[in-house]
Amino acid sequence: MRILTTGGTGFIGSHTTVELQNAGFDVVIADNLSNSNEQVLDRIEKITGKRPAFIKADLSCPKECKQVFDTYKDIEGVINFAAYKAVGESVEKPIMYYQNNLGIFLNLVENMKNNGVKYFVQSSSCTVYGEPDSLPIKETSPVKKATSPYGHTKQIVEEMLSFITASTDIKAIALRYFNPIGAHESALIGELPNGVPNNLLPFVTQTAAGIRKELKVFGNDYPTPDGTCIRDYIHVVDLAKAHVVAVKRLLENKNKENLEFFNIGTGKGFSVLEIINSFEKTTGVKLPWSFAPRREGDIIQIWADTKYAEEELGWKAQETLDTMTLSSWKWQQALDK
Ligand code: UD1
């Protein structure tokens, strides 16, 4: 049974490829290596004992996307990770974001339809909910107006899927991730952002490693217990396993609708200061940090209602915050070596 992971050499894609192979699937990765490198394939092989098939392809190009499906006639399902994902950059370059993220999606579903590939798992985001009216947030909560082109592309793909799954044989699951952090316990794969990291954990580990001078904590006057923003941080390996469960659900025809949505989080919210505390406690490294003004566009707090994923998918996050922060650090240390 072969699964195509687009963006499979990236952070979440590489961890999911590992879990798919561990579960007995054959995987072909299609990636243009714009934000990753081919060494990841060696590392996946080291972890799983099996090298995934790989095609270097820019899937936003119709010809290159078709080539993937022409080469691998045995693809049964697609998990789509290939997308640009920097919120700030998307505000500056909206056209580039729409062209890439929506172009990739449309090329994929067109080729799926032409080749009789029926199962699709989409990498979506809790960003579709915007600032929640009540917490924890359920899958049935309203999708609010997007605050960035990045978030908008996630919403548009979800909407397009609802029409596409209504009129084709394609069945889909959109996994709405909360904040993925951590790294594989082998420290062979992890998050490798280009340039200065935007996201919290890579900034924390790079600061602890001396690459950055100081972590700026954005805002200390939010209406939260310690004044800093709260997020639902999820271990990337837990998240990867959710994809395996989702793809099996589709392959086994256990889905209840042609398009389903699941929150993929832990159900627990942690503040930025709690992340710093966990990091310092588990690693023994003192982190230089100070408060800075609020970052524009940040939501105050969000965490998942995980009941639906638990009951329907039979999936639940297992890792603790401390294993997340420690594994992120071990990955950073391995990188520095
Ligand atoms: C954002 C996106 C989300 C996307 C994710 C990963 C929104 C609303 N959310 O999440 O969709 O999936 O990025 O790309 O667009 N922080 C600091 N200092 C830093 C960096 C971050 O204090 O140097 C704080 C932020 O203010 C926030 C928390 O850490 O409170 C997490 O930030 P980040 O890792 O960037 O993720 P989100 O903004 O939650």
What does the pLDDT look like over 99-140, one tens digit per residue? 999 999 999 999 999 999 999 999 999 999 999 999 999 999
The ligand 1 atom nearest the CA atom of 230: 30
Q: Is residue 299 pLDDT above 90, yes or no? A: yes
Q: Which alpha helices (H) appear in the chain, and where do they start and end? A: 11-22, 39-48, 62-71, 87-92, 94-97, 103-115, 149-167, 200-208, 236-251, 272-283, 307-308, 321-336
Q: Ligand 1, residue 299: give the atom nearest the CA.
A: 8
Ligand 1 binding pocket includes 220 (Cβ within 6 Å):
no
Mean of the per-residue pLDDT values for the chain?
97
Catalytic residue among 84, 97, 129, 150: 150
Look at residue 194 and tell me whether its pLDDT is greater than 90.
no
Tokens linked to 241: 């396993």
Percent of the chain residues topping a pLDDT of 90: 97
In the structure, what pLDDT confidence band is assigned to residue 66 with cuts at 50, 70 and 90?
very high
Which of 97, 137, 218, 275 is the pocket-test mutation for ligand 1 (most atoms within 8 Å of CB)? 218
Specify whether 308 is catalytic.
Answer: no
pLDDT surpassing 90 at residue 337: no
Please tell me the predicted confidence (pLDDT) of residue 154: 98
Instruction: Assign 263 a pLDDT band (cuts: 50, 70, 90).
Output: very high
Instruction: Render pLDDT for 209-259 as a digit per residue (tens, 0 to 9).
Output: 999 999 999 999 999 999 999 999 999 999 999 999 999 999 999 999 999
221: left (phi over 0), alpha (psi -120 to 50) or beta: alpha
Cα-to-centroid distance, 151 and ligand 1 (Å): 12
Q: What angle do CA 281, 286, 289 make, to 5 degrees?
A: 115
Q: Establish whether residue 217 lines the binding site of ligand 1, counting it when its CB lies within 6 angstroms of any ligand atom.
A: yes
pLDDT, position 199: 96
pLDDT over 90 at 282, yes or no: yes
Q: Tell me what the mean pLDDT of segment 161-178 comes to.
A: 98
> Nearest residue CA, atom 36 of ligand 1?
199
Nearest to 112 by CA among 174, 164, 56: 164
pTM: 0.98
N residues, the chain: 337
Instruction: Please classify residue 221 by burial: count the beta carbons closer than 10 Å to its beta carbon, then call 0-12 exposed, 13-18 middle and 19+ buried.
Output: exposed
Count the Cβ atoms, other than its own, within 10 Å of residue 90: 22
Closest C-alpha among 107, 61, 27, 200 to residue 18: 27
Structure tokens at 129: 């909910």
- Which residue's CA is the closest to the ligand 1 atom numbered 13? 199
So what's the pLDDT on residue 142? 95
CB 313 within 8 A of CB 145: no
